Amino acid sequence: MKVTTDKIEHRQAFLTIEIEPPEVEKSLEGAYRRLVQKANIPGFRKGKAPRPILERYVGKKALFNEALDYLIPETYEKAVKEQNIEPYAQPHLEVTQAEPPIFKAVVPLAPEVKLGDYQHMEVAPEETAEVAEKDIDAAIEQLRHQQATWEPVERAADFEDLVVMDIESKIDDRPFIDQKKVQYQLLRESTFPAPGFAEQLVGMKKDEEREFKLKFAAEHPRADLAGKEPWFKVKALEVKQKKLPEMNDDFARAVDAKFETLAKLREQVTNSLKLGAERKTRLDFEERAIDALVGKTEVDFPPILTEVEIDRLIERQMQRWQMDRDGLEDYLKKINKTEKELREELRPLAIKDVTRSLALGKLSEAEKVEVNDAEIDAEIENVIKRNEANRAQLQEYFKSAETRDSIKRQLIGRKTVERLVEIARTAAAETKPAETKNAETKAKPVTKTKKVKEKKK
């Protein structure tokens, strides 16, 4: 075996490995012994045919390929040990020459992460979480709309109204939608069931019929609808308008019986909005702190980590569509993209996620963030309490070492971010007095000048 390290870049080692004839012959002999036990060769008992006979029966190329299938992984393992290389993930192997066999190996190496002076990060202080009266009014108005009723009206339909209708439609003489007494709210810029449908219903009165055609965009995500022109026939059976409840104590009790008065409802809405604002402020500060950490950290990692993260992001997107990992082809059809297009679209986000994860992992090591068994048990119990109906199944699930290790990693990640936030807050507090002091220093001459002028007078 001859091994040459061509280069090392982007945390990858590029090797060229040549397998010498004695090694090839030894592997061919092993391949012969394996294949001869499986081959049914006329005139020979299984496993007894000589090698030349087997070669004529299966072909020299098949025997050679069988030998390489075992020989290349074995040779690769020896090569990385000889070169003192510790692979971080599976390599990419490519045979470049058959005789003598030469293959290239791209070996992912462990990421390299160097933390900078993270104790003195420049992160803008957290802003005070405030809730404006208009936000409270808007939230209560939304509750009013949720409690609204629909009342028939003897007028033409307008936007925001509800139309009860019979609908018949076709695309290329094939049925598209056929429903009776369906309720449809006329919302501006609605694209269901087709762009412009709501606009066509504006002005309709009870018992009126209309026929019209619309058109789907050429880039519609559903290939069977892209560029098509559906025909619609609609009969309005009834027009209804929304009636909002009055803002009083009865409305508050309709939202929830525990609210005896409108004032109590408003208090609860205010508290909920404040909690939401505080959470958003906290998350915004966490994001800025992580960005500041990344800005002070040198990170280099093999491209395979980006590809793995892209796989994870795709799987997460598919789960939102309630599709399993075997349905990638169907998912790509739904979003009207090729796999290559989707992967390139997700690449910047994947690189950002990997970089952040590695920086936080290094911070966890530097700050010696740890999680004990009691903390893991407490977290598991919290999860089970939120899913009490499945307690028995969850208890069994959380017994496995793999699951507990996953919980541990999550907790370490959470505690690392909490520690980072503490560091960022301290750094922000240290910079604030200096700014105040500078402002005060600049203000003093102005005060002194005023006093001098007063004395002259």
Instruction: Note the pTM of the prediction, 2 decimals.
Output: 0.74
Q: Indicate the helix (H) or strand (E) that contains 195.
A: none
| One-letter identity of residue 4 | T
Residues in the chain: 457
pLDDT along the chain (457 residues), means of 10: 91 95 92 90 88 90 92 95 94 92 95 94 83 95 94 96 96 93 95 95 97 92 87 97 95 94 96 93 94 95 96 90 77 85 95 97 96 95 90 90 94 96 88 52 43 40
pLDDT at site 256: 94
pLDDT of residue 318: 86
**Residue 43's pLDDT is what?**
86
Q: What is residue 438's predicted lDDT score, i.e. its pLDDT?
A: 52
SS3 content of the chain, % helix, strand, coil (to 5): 55, 20, 30
Instruction: Write down all domains in the chain, each with its CATH number in brackets.
Output: 2-110 (3.30.70.1050), 114-148+248-300 (no CATH), 149-243 (3.10.50.40)
User: Distance (Å, rounded) from C-alpha 38 to C-alpha 47?
Assistant: 7
Torsion 361-364-368-374 (CA) sign: negative
**16: β partners:** 4, 104
**Residue 433 has what pLDDT?**
53
Q: Which two tokens stand for residue 143?
A: 């509750």
Tokens of 376: 């893991």
